């Protein structure tokens, strides 16, 4: 059975949503990142980057939420576009937009707003502006 190494936060949630929507059986393996469990040797053997989520599926081990989404989509054939270069290019573009844009900018915006020590105004403004700009692009794309 698929094992999803999970903490209730945005990147693991993306994978849990896929598994639920696809109706795939899986078991959650809790990794409490507030307690630092992501830094254990056992978890770093699964994800050397020491972040959730990670997924083990038989002899396949995958880390990074976006890699996991692509792995599951290719394995199951679910939520994939038509198998043409143009459709695949579009899917990969938006997946990487999430991986390199939405995820990191929103993460940094939350970090600098709520957790970083002073001084931080420049960082709050920069990451909030970029996070909102990215979400505006999503809105425009979904409305098109």
Out of 46, 65, 71, 127, the residue judged to bind ligand GSH by CB under 6 A:
65
Rg (CA), the chain: 17
For tokens 């390199």, name the residue. Answer: 100
Is 52 a binding residue for ligand GSH by CB under 6 A? The answer is: yes
Q: Looking at 9, 100, 125, 141, which residue binds ligand GSH (CB under 6 A)? A: 9
User: Which residue stretch of 9-17, 73-81, 85-93, 129-137 sits at the interface with ligand GSH (rule: CB under 6 A)?
Assistant: 9-17
Q: Which residues contact 143 (CB under 8 A, 6 or more apart)?
A: none
Residue 9 or 125: the one with the smaller Cβ distance to ligand GSH is 9
Question: Going by DSSP bridges, is the β-strand pair 2-6/54-57 parallel, antiparallel, or unpaired?
Answer: antiparallel
Tokens 């020590």, residue? 117
Least Å distance, CB 38 to ligand GSH, is 5
Answer yes or no whether residue 61 interacts with ligand GSH by CB under 6 A: no
46, 5 contact by CB (below 8 A)? yes
Stretch that binds ligand GSH, among 17-25, 62-70, 78-86, 132-140 (CB under 6 A): 62-70
How many Å apart are CA 63 and CA 14, to the nearest integer?
13
């Amino acid at each position: 059975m698929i094992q999803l190494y999970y903490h209730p936060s945005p990147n693991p949630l993306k994978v849990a949503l896929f598994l639920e929507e696809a109706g795939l059986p899986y078991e959650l393996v809790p990794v409490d990142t507030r307690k630092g469990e992501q830094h254990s040797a056992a978890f770093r053997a699964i994800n050397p980057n020491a972040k959730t989520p990670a997924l083990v599926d038989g002899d396949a081990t995958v880390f990074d939420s976006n890699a996991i989404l692509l792995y599951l989509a290719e394995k199951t054939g679910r939520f994939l576009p038509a198998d043409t270069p143009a459709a695949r290019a579009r899917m990969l573009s938006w997946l990487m937009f999430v991986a390199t844009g939405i995820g990191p900018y929103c993460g940094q915006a939350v970090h600098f707003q709520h957790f970083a020590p002073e001084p931080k105004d420049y960082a709050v403004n920069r990451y909030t502006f970029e996070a909102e700009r990215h979400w505006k692009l999503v809105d425009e794309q979904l409305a098109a």
